[in-house]
Amino acid sequence: MDKKIVLVTGASSGIGEAVARKLAKGRHTVVLSGRSKAKLVGLERELAGKGQRVVAVSGDLAKEEDAKKVVSESLKTFGAVDAIVHAAGVFHVSRLEDTSSETFRGVLDTNLTSLYFLMKYLLPHFYAQKRGQVVAVSSVAGRQGFAGETAYCASKWGLMGFLEALRLEAKERGVRVTAILPGPTLTPAWKAFDGPVPEDRLMAPETVADSILFALDQPEGALVESLIVTPSRDPFGGREKI
């Protein structure tokens, strides 16, 4: 893979952290973004201590001003951004009647609106340099409904529509858009789940990260539109989670 400057959201844990670590190890330049400033700074120090080129820019991407700051700081620090890996997200499990309006809106804002804010400020830069990559972590819940995940499914189905439309708008201007749809992955997001978690059957975040790096590694003339990665065995054996 040609060396890139990559903005990674959700970099403080889970899939985002795994992607950031792999990119930094591969000598790419990485902007670490997430809500937890302490975790980001800790990761920045660890990777920089290994001679890797990273910078942490914290922010709540569900807030437009924070998303704008993350993009502007990335461009100010490195002069360019070649790709964004959007791994920021939240998992929520509850039936519709038990989901408050505030929670529903919060899930949509974190999983969907955040990418709109980021692209609002990053896309002009991509268009100006006539190239760029957007790799966003969706979910198998972006193509299939699951009981107890009304808010989560709504956010991920919305994200898939957003990415498909953006792909059509941007591809003739050199910007490639990829959706990654992982199945159950062992990340801190499962803290939202009250039942037993079959950890031995969940994918490691590094497995999903490898699929993201595969998409980023495609030559300019190739585009991975979407990629589904699931555990080889159904973690829940067909049972509903709630």
Contact predicate 155/112, CB 8 Å: yes
pLDDT for 98-153, tens place per residue? 999 999 999 999 999 999 999 999 999 999 999 999 999 999 999 999 998 999 99
Given the residues 116, 121, 127, 152, select the one marked as catalytic: 152
DSSP 115-137: HHHHHHHHHHHHHHHT-EEEEEE
Contact predicate 142/156, CB 8 Å: yes
pLDDT above 70 as % of the chain:
96
Average of per-residue pLDDT values in the chain: 93
pLDDT above 90 as % of the chain:
86
> 112: which 2 tokens?
């969907």
pLDDT for 158-200, tens place per residue? 999 999 999 999 999 999 999 999 999 988 877 766 777 777 8
Residue 152 appears among annotated catalytic residues: yes
- Domains of the chain, CATH where assigned: 5-229 (3.40.50.720)
Q: Considering only residues 238 and 186, tell me which one the structure prediction assigns the higher pLDDT.
A: 186
CA distances from 69 to 45, 65, 73, 151, 227 (A): 21, 6, 6, 27, 30
What is the DSSP secondary structure assignment for residue 33, as one 8-state letter? E
| 94: β partners | 149
Burial bucket for residue 202 (CB in 10 Å: 0-12, 13-18, 19+): middle
Q: pTM for this one?
A: 0.93
DSSP 50-116: TT--EEEEE--TTSHHHHHHHHHHHHHHHS---EEEE-------B-GGG--HHHHHHHHIIIIIHHH
